[in-house]
Amino acid sequence: MTKRSSDTTPGAKTGKQHHLLIVESPAKARTIKKYLGATFTVKASVGHVKDLPKSKMGVDVEHGFAPDYVVIRGKNKIIGEIKKAAKEVDHVYLAPDPDREGEAIAWHIAEEIRDANPNVSRVLLHEITRKGVAEALQHPTALDEHKFESQQARRILDRLVGYEISPILWRKVKRGLSAGRVQSVAVRIIVEREREIAAFKPEEYWSIECDEEPVDRPGQSFTAKLFKRDGDKASLTNGDQARAIADELRGVPHAVETVERKERRRFPLPPFITARLQQEAARKLRMTAKRTMALAQRLYEGLDLEGEGPVGLITYLRTDSTRVSDDAIAEARTFIAERFGADYLPESPVVYKSRKGAQDAHEAIRPTSMRYDPDTVRRLLKGKKSKRDHEEAEDLVRLYQLIWNRFVACQMKPALYDQTTVDIAAGRHTLRATGQVLKFAGYTAVYIESLEENRGNGNGNGNGNGNGGGPGGGPESAEDRQLPDLAAGQPLRLLGVEPEQHFTQPPPRFTEASLVKELEEKGIGRPSTYATILSTIQDRGYVEKGEGRFTPTELGTLVNDLLVGSFPDILNVDFTAQMEDRLDKVEEGDVNWVSLLHEFYTPFKADLATAAATMRDVKREEIPTEHTCEKCGSPMVIKWGKNGSFLACSGYPACKNTKEFVRRPDGTIEIAPESTTTEVCELCGSPMVVKRGRFGEFLACSRYPDCRSTKAISLGVACPREGCGGFIAEKRSRRGKPFYGCSNYAKTKCDFVLWDRPVPRPCPSCGAKFLVKKVSRRGTQIRCVSEGCGYSSDGEAPEPPAAQAESGA
C-alpha cells in the first residue's frame, strides 16, 4: 500500500494508515464496520451514483456510443461526503457487490474521487463475515474494466431499445408505453403460451383401475392399472372401448405374472443458485421473485441479532455457480455428523458441477456459518416492535431456513427406497401395480424438493393430470405405499374394476417459478434480473397475475404483436439469448463492447425506420363491425382508447355513442350489456351504469355524452373523518394497484386512504364501524385499523353489500 505524503491525514499524525471502504447499502456498511477497527471509515453510496439521464437518450451513437453519464438526483451530497472522506485517508477500497452492477458503481465512484485520492482498489465481498471481509481486504484488485464495459454495453443496449422504440408506440398506440429489450421477450413468452392454451383441442382418453387382493390373504387389497393389451401399450380413446375391456377383465382369472424388487436411490440437489432459489421460494413459500431477492439481500448484508450485532447470514445472492468452498463443506459435514450421526454422512464430500456457461466467480448461495442455524436466528432476531416487524422477521427466517436446509441436505447421503413393480396377467391384458417404501431417509430428513409442475404428466403433451394413461402417456409415479408380499403365479381376486374418463389438458399458464425457469432455460436475462423483469411487465400493464399465474392483458398482446412484426430480431428468444452470451464475452475480454453495439445498431436502425412508416396506427384505426349505433344508425367500429378497445359510432364527433364489447371464440364480437344499479343520476334522473376507466370502476349516467355526471362506487363504509360525509370507494393508482380512498377527495381534498379493502362490519373488540380485509401469501386476515385496538381474525368476512352510490344506502 502506498502511504499518502500529506501530513494533514490522520495516518500522517498517528503513524498508522487510515482507510475508507465504500459499499452500496447502509445495512452492509453497519455490518462491515463491526469487523473493522478504528483505522477504517465505512460509507455507503446507496446504490448507483451516476447513470444515463432520464430526459434524453444520453448515448452518442455517431461517436462510438459514448454514454453521457450524469450524477443521479439526490446523490451529489453523498458523493461530496465520500470525496471528503477520501481526502482524509491513505487508501480507498471500493466494495460494492461483486457483479457487473457493483463494478459499475465502483467505476463511477472511482471517477468521482480520483482527484481526491488516487490510491483506489477494488475488493470483492462474497460473504459479509469477519473472515470474508478480512480475506477480501488481503486480496485487493484493480477495477475490472471488461466487467464494467459489459455492464455499460447492457445499459446502452437497453437505453437504445427503450428510448427509440417507445416513441413509436406513443404515436401508434398511446403515450406512456414502453418497450424493453428483455422484458418484451418475457411478455412474448406469456402471450404465446396464452395462444397455445386458446388453440388447444382436448383429447379424450380413459384409464382402468382394478382393485385386487391375494386369494389366500383377504383384506390385503391393492390397486393395479391397465398397462398392456395383447403385449402392446394400452391406449383407450373412448368409453365404449374402456367398458368393453372392463367387462373382459371381470370374466378372466387374475394372477401375478412377475414381481420386480429393487433398491432406488434419490440424490440431493445442489445448493441454491439464484434462479433455483427464486423458483423454490415461489413454490414452497409463495414468495414473488422480487420479495425473495429483497429478503436475500438483507440476509447477505446482515441482520441485527441480539448480542451479536449485524451478522451476514448468507453468501452473495446473485450467482449461477454451485461451487462451495472446502471450508464450508467441512463445516457442514461436521454439523451433519453431530446432528444426524455418521450414517447420514457420505464417505467423501459431495461436489456438484455447475451448468455449462455458468459464471464461477461466486459460490452457491449458502449459510456463511453453521453456527447460526434457523432456530438460533429466530431466537436472536430483535427489533420486532410491531406485528409488521414480526412478520418481516418471520419471512427472513423462512427464506433462511430454505437456504440452510438445501445446503445441509446437499452434503448428506441419498434417500433409499424399496421399489416394487408387480405385473398381473388377466387374459390378454396386463395390469401393473407399483409401490415404494422409504428405507433410509438420507437427505430427506432435512429437505424435500418440490415437484416440478409438469413432472410425470401422462396426457400426451406433458401437461395433464399425471395419471400415465393418455396417448403416449408418461410413466406412472410410484407412490409411497407398500404392496402385499406377492410372488409370481399367485392367484388374485378381482374386487372391482373402475373405468375413468380423462381429457388432455392445455399447457399451464406460467407461475413466477415456471416463468423464471423458462427464462433461465432459454437464456433470457440473467438471474439477477429475473425479479425486475417479472415486476416490470406487471407494472407496465402488459400482464396480470391472477391465482398466482400470468395472463397477458389486451394491451400486452397488442404491443407484443406490433413489436414482433416490426422488430423480429429484438423480440426473438434466440437472438436475446445470444446477446446475453455476447455480453458475457465482453466481460471475459473476448468481444469489444463498441463493436457489439455497432453490430446491433445497424439493423436496428433500419427496423426503426420501417416501423415508423409501416407499423399499424392503432390510434387512428377503425375496424368495421356488423353492429349499428342505436342513436343515429351509423355503423359501429372498434377503436382503441386509453383503457383498451371499445365500440364507437363511426359518426363521431357528431355522435359520441360508445359501447364495451366481448369477443366470441369465433372472432366475432358481442356488445356487452351495461351493468346498471339502483342509482339514478342527480342531474337528469336517468339510471346510472357501471363503467371502467383508467383508475377502476365508477358510476356514469346512461345518457352520456349528453349528461356527463359520474359517481364513485361505495363499498358501504362511511369515511371516518369527522364531518367529512364521504364514503370509501375503490380506486387505482397510476400503476394499477388498488387502494381505497374517500369519495370527497375532489371536493374537500379529504385524504383518508387504506391499502386493505374495508369491510362494513363493526369491530367486535372496540366497536369501530368497519374492519379491513388483508389478503397475503399467508391467507386472508380480518383486522381492525383503529389505533390501539389490535383485533384480528383469520378467514373470510362477509363481502360488503351490493355497490351503492351513497354511504349507508
Element (H, E) at 81: helix 76-87
State how far the alpha carbon of 541 is from the alpha carbons of 546, 551, 736, 777, in Å.
13, 11, 8, 22
Which residues make Cβ contacts (< 8 Å) with residue 3, sequence separation at least 6? 11, 17, 90
227 neighbors 257 (Cβ within 8 angstroms):
no
Could you give the dihedral angle defined by the CA atoms of residues 313, 318, 322 and 328, in that order, rounded to the nearest 10 degrees?
-20
CA 782 to chain centre: 27
Decide: helix, strand or coil at residue 47.
coil
* Cell numbers 367529512: residue: 724
192-223 in b/e burial notation, b at 16+ Cβ within 10 A? ebbeeeeeeeebebbbbbbebbbeeeeeeebb
Which residues make Cβ contacts (< 8 Å) with residue 314, sequence separation at least 6? 127, 296, 299, 300, 365, 366, 367, 368, 400, 403
288 neighbors 15 (Cβ within 8 angstroms):
no
1 neighbors 119 (Cβ within 8 angstroms):
yes
Q: Where are the alpha helices (DSSP H) in 124-273?
A: 130-138, 145-172, 183-199, 239-250
Catalytic entry in 69, 93, 205, 316: 316
Which residues make Cβ contacts (< 8 Å) with residue 759, sequence separation at least 6? 717, 770, 771, 772, 773, 782, 797, 798, 799, 800
652 a catalytic residue? no
From CA 800, how far away is CA 772, in angstroms rounded? 11
From CA 790, how far away is CA 783, in angstroms rounded? 7
Give the count of beta carbons closer than 10 Å to the beta carbon of residue 751: 10
Which long-range contacts (C-beta less than 8 Å, at least 24 apart) are formed by 777-784? 777/285, 777/286, 777/287, 778/286, 783/756
For 719, the grid coordinates are 369515511
* Cell numbers 396464452: residue: 194
Element (H, E) at 323: none
Decide: helix, strand or coil at residue 715.
strand
> What is the number of residues in the chain?
809
State how far the alpha carbon of 644 is from the alpha carbons of 626, 693, 699, in Å.
20, 10, 19
From CA 341, how far away is CA 441, in angstroms rounded? 13
Which residues make Cβ contacts (< 8 Å) with residue 291, sequence separation at least 6? 281, 395
Could you give the dihedral angle defined by the CA atoms of residues 366, 367, 369 and 375, in that order, rounded to the nearest 10 degrees?
-150
From CA 84, how far away is CA 648, in angstroms rounded? 64
Burial of residue 45 (number of CB atoms within 10 Å: 0-12, 13-18, 19+):
buried
State how far the alpha carbon of 680 is from the alpha carbons of 476, 687, 728, 747, 800, in Å.
61, 4, 19, 20, 21
Which residues make Cβ contacts (< 8 Å) with residue 5, sequence separation at least 6? 12
Question: Taking the CA of residue 105 as centre, how many other CA atoms within 13 Å lie in the half-sphere pointing to its CB?
Answer: 23
DSSP string, 101-140: HHHHHHHHHHHHHTTT---EEE---SB-SHHHHHHHHHS-
For 120, the grid coordinates are 483506489
User: Annotated catalytic sites, by residue?
Assistant: 316
